[in-house]
Chains A and B, each alone.
Chain A
Amino acid sequence: MSAQREIAIVAFHQSPCQASAGAANEVELIMPELRAVFDQVGLANAQDVDFVCSGSCDYLQGAAFAFVAGVDALGAVPPIRESHVEMDAAWALYEAVLKIRMGHADSALIYGFAKSSPGELPIVLSQQLDPYYLAPLWVDTVSLAALQARLMLDAGLITEGDMAEVVKRSRRNAMTNPLAQLAGETSVADLLAKPHYLSPLRRHDCCPVSDGAAAMIIATVEQAKAWGMPYVRLSGIDHRIESHNLCLRDLTDSVSTRKAAAAAGMNAGAVDVAELYAPFSHQEIILSRALGLGEDTRVNPSGGVLAGNLMMASGLSRIGEVFQRIVAGEAGRGVAHATNGPCLQQNLVAVLEAA
């Protein structure tokens, strides 16, 4: 087996998180993000990369084969090498990384998009559950997260004040993130004074529903140098999944995140910054603990997804956020996390390092 090829992240761009993208269809959401990353590298279109992989879910907007329509944004004449995952685009990145490491490509475009506003997202997502025992009951995903939060509160692992603290920090951090949907100065006392929404969750414990897209370009280190691009090394990436039976899992912990982090080599050095895909406030605490993050790590400086959640793109965006901070010199080494499924069922961890 040949030596593993090193992966470089060279470009990233994300749209603002909007409660509704209005008229824009999937192609119109994707195109500006693709154009931005092509322009960053100086490429014309998808013909100039070796592989394209996207992440999206047609159920979100209820348009069958919307992901195929998305190919209209690529410039796929003559035909290109293209693939798609019905998952967050962080998993599309994983597929692209494998493609490059195996020597089947030297460069790849990855994108994810979501138009969640046309449907009732928590109900749409109920249909990803066990089709015999849970989906027919229409158990929504916010309720499942609330069951998880209650388990933590009952066990004394967190307080509602801890959850509010996460929200307060997210809103404050988001004030410097122009793409955020929710931002502002608030206090734990103010947040705790708000009524419960889906007890024990308050509305602010839950991420908003957002429309938007994100895109990234990766390459071998040699290709990145040939392009003359500043780049960040993607030194490790791994993902793990837990049982679909929620009652068989320890929902107060994230074993899959810890295992993915170990396999991705997170523990080989200090972590300056971490971007965690925690759609609910208590889940940020679960993830921080599973990863063993301490005082030295800035967690979700972007505000995280509590400030705006692009389903199927937020995971890729976490990686993009860390990439941008390392390129800007704000951090030398960082960790990005992505999740799929109810109550953090499946988790991906990526480790990024300055070149």
Chain B
Amino acid sequence: MSEDNNAQAREPVTGMDAPIYLQYQFTAGRAPSRFLHALKQGRLTGQRCPGCSQVYIPPRGSCPACGIATDEEVTLSNKATVQSFTIVYIPIPGNPIKPPYIVANLVPDGANISFIHLLSDCVNEEVHIGQRVEAVWKPAQEWDYKMDNILYYRPLEEPDVPVELIGRLPVEGWEGQA
């Protein structure tokens, strides 16, 4: 034992390491599993509430507004609208993406709720709410049960969606489009 360690050893104990590591076998849930199966086939899907008709992505098996089970599967568009976004300038531990980059709330056409994904292939300073974007998928042979089958979303040459219509577009898209 070195002299330093001896000196440290004479100090009273004031703290202790108490790491907790627990092992689990996580299951995705029935509704999320169906979503992931479709994703592996290159399709984005949501589920429609039989009560209020809202379409949720990713589906969790219920309509949180009505409290009833959702079952009807709806295939959504690869096109989406920016509902909100943030430009990340700080490195996040464990995240391989180099800042600055954009994380956005995106509502796919045909859905009524946003999910989070990356926005790229764009001028960061020009990204705005209501902007039209589309999914950029990995090559089909790399598809797995994972959200990063979609690498990122990139801007589309389409007119902006007014704020009051974000989250209300049909799966066919945006009639205001050029």
Interface residues of A (CB under 8 A from B): 22-25, 27-28, 31, 34-35, 45-47, 59, 61-63, 69, 71-77, 117-120, 123-124, 127, 131-132, 135-136
Does B57 touch A at the CB level, under 8 Å? no
CB-CB nearest 3 A-B residue pairs: A75-B67, A25-B29, A62-B24
Q: Would you call A119 and B24 a contact (CB within 8 A)?
A: yes
Query: B61: nearest residue on chain A (CB-CB)?
Result: A28
The answer for the CA separation of A59 and B21 in the assembled complex, in Å, is: 11
Chain A min CB distance to B51 (Å):
9
The residue from B24, B25, B61, B65 contacting A31, defined by CB atoms under 8 A apart: B61
B25, B28, B67 pick with most chain A CB within 10 angstroms: B67
Query: A70: nearest residue on chain B (CB-CB)?
Result: B62
Query: A20: nearest residue on chain B (CB-CB)?
Result: B27
The residue from B22, B32, B62, B63 contacting A124, defined by CB atoms under 8 A apart: B22
Chain B min CB distance to A77 (Å):
4
Q: Would you call B68 and A45 a contact (CB within 8 A)?
A: yes
User: Beyond A62-B26, A72-B64, A76-B67: 12 further Cβ-contacts under 8 Å?
Assistant: A24-B27, A25-B29, A27-B60, A27-B62, A28-B29, A28-B62, A46-B67, A62-B22, A73-B67, A74-B64, A76-B65, A135-B18
Q: Would you call A27 and B26 a contact (CB within 8 A)?
A: no
The answer for the CA separation of A25 and B34 in the assembled complex, in Å, is: 13
Does B161 touch A at the CB level, under 8 Å? no
B residues 21-41 with Cβ under 8 Å of A? 22-33
Query: A21: nearest residue on chain B (CB-CB)?
Result: B27
Q: Would you call B64 and A71 a contact (CB within 8 A)?
A: yes
Does B69 touch A at the CB level, under 8 Å? yes
The answer for the CA separation of A272 and B61 in the assembled complex, in Å, is: 41
- Complex contacts, A69 vs chain B, CB 8 Å: 60
Q: Would you call A23 and B64 a contact (CB within 8 A)?
A: no
Chain A min CB distance to B26 (Å):
6
- Complex contacts, B23 vs chain A, CB 8 Å: 119-120
A25, A69, A120, A131 pick with most chain B CB within 10 angstroms: A25
The residue from B18, B26, B64, B67 contacting A136, defined by CB atoms under 8 A apart: B18
Q: Would you call B68 and A24 a contact (CB within 8 A)?
A: no
- Complex contacts, B31 vs chain A, CB 8 Å: 25, 28
Q: A24-B30, A28-B31, A31-B69 are in contact. Are A77 and B64 (CB under 8 A)?
A: yes
Q: Would you call A27 and B22 a contact (CB within 8 A)?
A: no
Does B16 touch A at the CB level, under 8 Å? yes
The residue from B20, B24, B32, B67 contacting A34, defined by CB atoms under 8 A apart: B67
- Complex contacts, A118 vs chain B, CB 8 Å: 24-27
The residue from B30, B66, B67 contacting A28, defined by CB atoms under 8 A apart: B30
The answer for the CA separation of A175 and B27 in the assembled complex, in Å, is: 30
The answer for the CA separation of A48 and B62 in the assembled complex, in Å, is: 18
Chain A min CB distance to B64 (Å):
4
Q: Could you list 22 examples of A-B contacts with CB < 8 Å?
A: A23-B28, A23-B29, A23-B33, A24-B30, A25-B61, A27-B29, A27-B61, A28-B29, A28-B31, A31-B69, A34-B67, A35-B68, A46-B67, A72-B60, A72-B61, A73-B67, A118-B26, A119-B22, A127-B20, A131-B18, A132-B18, A136-B18
Q: Would you call B22 and A123 a contact (CB within 8 A)?
A: yes
B residues 42-85 with Cβ under 8 Å of A? 60-69
Q: Would you call B26 and A59 a contact (CB within 8 A)?
A: no
- Complex contacts, B26 vs chain A, CB 8 Å: 61-63, 118
Query: A30: nearest residue on chain B (CB-CB)?
Result: B62
